[in-house]
Amino acid sequence: MPSLQGALNSVENADRDHLVRLSRTFLRVEEIIDSVSDLQRLLDLIMRESEQVVDAETSSLLLFDHLNEELYFEIAHGPQGESVKTIRLPLDESSIAGATAIRRVPINIPDVRESRYWNSQVDKETDFQTRNLLAVPMQRQDRLIGVIEVLNKRQGVCFTEQDTDVLMVLASLAAIAIENAQLYEEKLQSERLAALGQAVAGISHYIKNVLTGLRGSMSLIDTAIQDHEYELLEKSMVVLRRSYGRIHHLVRDMLSYSKGREPNPRAVSPNEIILEIFDLMNESASSKDIEIVLDLDKTMPILWVDPDAMEGIVLNLITNAIDAVYERSLINPNPPGKIWITTYYAAETLTVCVRDNGTGISEAQQKRIWTAFYSTKGSSGTGLGLAVTRKVIEEAGGTLVLNSTLGSGSEFSFSLPAPPI
């Protein structure tokens, strides 16, 4: 039985007409491999080229299931091809494909009815009549990938030795494409598992803290109701709302990071959005002795921007600024905590700057803070805020720039394309 090297040698010794036909086939297959990224489509095209070059009525490609020691139909041409895909063949000599896989050599059957390997199950289920069949193994080094079969030679009695040689080479090309795809999928799966582990580790302590707050607030609410302590009930509700808000923002950030978001621009006043956020955040900042200073461009026109995206971005940056300033004030209360918010508009570009005199960010941390689930806040942060913020800005066609010195504060400045109305 011929090996792949023997098949290559036979191809080299083929007559001129046959060699030209093979060369064209191999060039087409090479172009297919280079241009088609979807593995299913790639294998389908390779099998159609195989049918054409050996003049077969139809074909099939079976992959080896290493876990169950079975062969299954990945590609099955013909009018009943889809029904064939439900059939699985054991790795034994009860079928031609199984025998080819075990022996790792081509099997050319001139008349399937006279072959001890013939399994008529597929023909019965598809109402197809197989006369002759050529099967070759797909393997990489000693690793079995699967089996390629071509059925029913159109011209001539049966498949020839030259057909076997050609199919061996095509099977080798298909095996390379399949192995590369499988290795890529394994690598991708490994990266996904690693990312999932990182995500769980990154947010587990944060969620635990939120749940602790929820449990505590519910306990206080029970006590307040039993003792008719309505002042305690109101305080407990504040904690409950805050915990709900933290969970809500976590879910929102995870969805924003995992899914693409189409910008939804509308005619809005950016300064009004900033003022609304100021009203929302000023009480929280004041409770920590932090002053928020606004410096808004008075000539700012009505702009075409996404208000939801802008609100989320600014809220995230101000929240981070409050945390950084408060952390620094616990160590050194001077100078008093301040956050400056500036807007300006030029060349159809909206720019918003959020500057603080907080802890600042080291150069080493500046390289990592954009990574999802990396947090400088320990268990009080999710590590998603800045990753989501930059993603939303870039999806809107904008940019986000950081200038920071450890111990002296930080400035986050983002710009968004914003045509005037």
Write down the domain spans for the chain. 4-187, 190-258, 266-417
Name 99's Cβ contacts closer than 8 Å, sequence gap at least 6.
Answer: 92, 93, 107, 117
Q: What are phi and psi of 141, to 5 degrees?
A: 60, -120
Grouping H, G, I as helix, E, B as strand and the rest as coil, residue 235 is helix
Quote the Cα angle for 240-241-247, to 5°.
Answer: 90
CB neighbourhood size of 18 (10 A): 15
- CA–CA dist 330, 50 (Å, integer): 74
- Looking at the DSSP bridge assignments, the partners of residue 150 are 59, 134
- CA–CA dist 214, 211 (Å, integer): 5
The architecture (CATH level 2) of 4-187 comes to: 2-Layer Sandwich (3.30)
**Between the CA of residue 191 and those of 173, 186, 187, 385, what are the distances in Å?**
27, 9, 6, 22
Domain 4-187 identical in fold to domain 266-417: no
Q: Where is 139: in which H helix or E strand?
A: strand 133-140
| Residue with the two structure tokens 């960010």 | 361
Q: For position 378, what pLDDT does the model report?
A: 46
Q: Which two tokens stand for residue 269?
A: 């006043």
Name 350's Cβ contacts closer than 8 Å, sequence gap at least 6.
Answer: 270, 303, 305, 343, 415, 416, 417, 418
Q: For position 223, what pLDDT does the model report?
A: 78
The architecture (CATH level 2) of 266-417 comes to: 2-Layer Sandwich (3.30)
Tens of pLDDT along the chain (421 residues) come to: 444 455 445 555 556 666 666 666 667 776 766 665 677 888 888 888 889 888 999 999 999 998 899 999 998 988 777 878 888 999 999 999 999 999 999 999 999 988 888 888 888 877 888 999 999 999 988 889 999 999 999 987 789 888 888 888 888 888 888 887 777 777 766 665 565 555 555 555 456 555 655 666 677 777 778 888 777 777 777 767 766 666 665 666 555 555 666 778 999 999 999 999 898 888 889 989 999 999 999 999 999 999 988 988 898 899 889 989 998 998 888 899 999 999 999 999 999 999 999 999 888 888 887 776 555 554 445 556 788 788 889 888 999 999 999 989 999 999 999 999 8
Instruction: Using alpha carbons, select from 179, 174, 175 the residue that is nearest to residue 47.
Output: 174
- Looking at the DSSP bridge assignments, the partners of residue 89 are 71
- Looking at the DSSP bridge assignments, the partners of residue 107 are 135
Is the peptide bond between 335 and the residue preceding it cis, with omega within 30 degrees of 0? Answer: yes
